[in-house]
Structure 1
Amino acid sequence: MIRTAVVFLAAGAALSACAPEQQVSGRALYGDYCAACHGADGKGDGPAGEGLGKAPADLTTIAARNGGTFPKVKVMSVIDGYTRRGDRSSVMPELGVALQEGPLVMVETGEGVLTPTPVNLVALADYLERLQE
């Protein structure tokens, strides 16, 4: 078990070393993939959201809806589409494929577990965290 942890940590250090020299812009990614439906300010009032059967979520209240804590891992899972696979009622596209371009960074996904995650997905989630009211 210790050997596995050492290998995993070494792999994590190697992935972290691959971090891009230029900062990925979560704001730009939001503009590209989210603003049309969720609106420029994340309030759920984007022009493309009007024709949907279900109104886009207000992304500025994610933390408030979660007891005041921003659930970053859950948010990334929703964006990626992982937790929505098979949900025919969801109108939000799965962005996992679109956001996987670029390097991986290590993200703690709970109880000290580090998971290699696309840097673009992390940047977008970080931007959404900054939008919280």
Structure 2
Amino acid sequence: MRLPSRLILALAAATLAACVPPETPTGKSDFDALCAGCHGLGGKGDGDMAAMLDQKPADLTTLSAKNNGHYPGTEIMAQIWGYAKPQGRVMPEFGPLLEGDLVPFDSGDGILTPTPIRLVQLEQYVRGLQEK
């Protein structure tokens, strides 16, 4: 029995696709996957899910402005990871989703702390969303 050439091409394409390693996560890809649904692609708190929530998601573009020009990176990572649990917290904990390779991270105190690279990348991405 001879297979049609289209079927052979489709099988070859599927086999090759299975050989391609998955894309390495970036701060942007993690933001798009984990945060944008509520915070919006631009971080303004206007994601597709925002209207369904009892509490409006934070506008992530104004974090520095609300903190006298200082970007609260460590606090942001604590929120993302789930360490910070303020009363009324509605944001899910993403820590388990960001586990993996560790990198030394200095939060400004001169102490290098092993921190999941994906958490650092996500914090840096949110830092880049700050309005000037």
Is the pair's TM-score, using the shorter chain for normalization, greater than 0.5? yes
The structure whose RCO (Cα within 8 Å, separation 6+) is larger is 1
What is the percentage of aligned positions where both structures have the same residue?
Answer: 45
How far residue 111 of structure 1 moved from its aligned partner, in angstroms, is 2.5
Decide which moves more: 49-58 or 110-119: 110-119
Partner of 2:98: 99
Report deviation, 1:74: 1.0
Q: Using the alignment, how far apart are the partners of 1:93 and 1:72 within structure 2?
A: 18
Q: CA deviation at 1:109?
A: 3.0
Inter-partner Cα distance in structure 1 for 2:126 and 2:107? 17
Q: Which residue of 2 aligns with 1:130?
A: 128
Partner of 2:107 in structure 1?
109
Shift of 1:25: 1.4
| Alignment size in residue pairs | 109
1:23-102 equivalence runs, <5 A = 24-84=25-85, 87=86, 89-100=88-99, 102=100
Name stretches of at least 5 consecutive residues in structure 1 with no aligned partner.
1-21
Q: Distance in 2 between matches of 1:27 and 1:125?
A: 10
Superposed CA RMSD in Å reads 1.6
8 A contact 1:24–1:119 mirrored in 2: no
* Superposition TM-score, scaled by structure 2 size: 0.77
Give, in angstroms, the shift of residue 98 of structure 1: 0.7
After superposing on structure 2, the runs of 4+ consecutive aligned residues of structure 1 that deviate more than 3 Å are: none
Report if the CA contact (8 A) 1:73-1:109 is conserved.
Answer: yes
Query: C-alpha displacement at 1:118, in angstroms?
Result: 0.3
- The structure with the largest alpha-carbon Rg is 2
Q: Deviations over 1:3-38 (max 9, x none)?
A: xxxxxxxxxxxxxxxxxxx97511111000000000
Which sections of structure 2, spanning at least 5 residues, go unmatched? 1-22
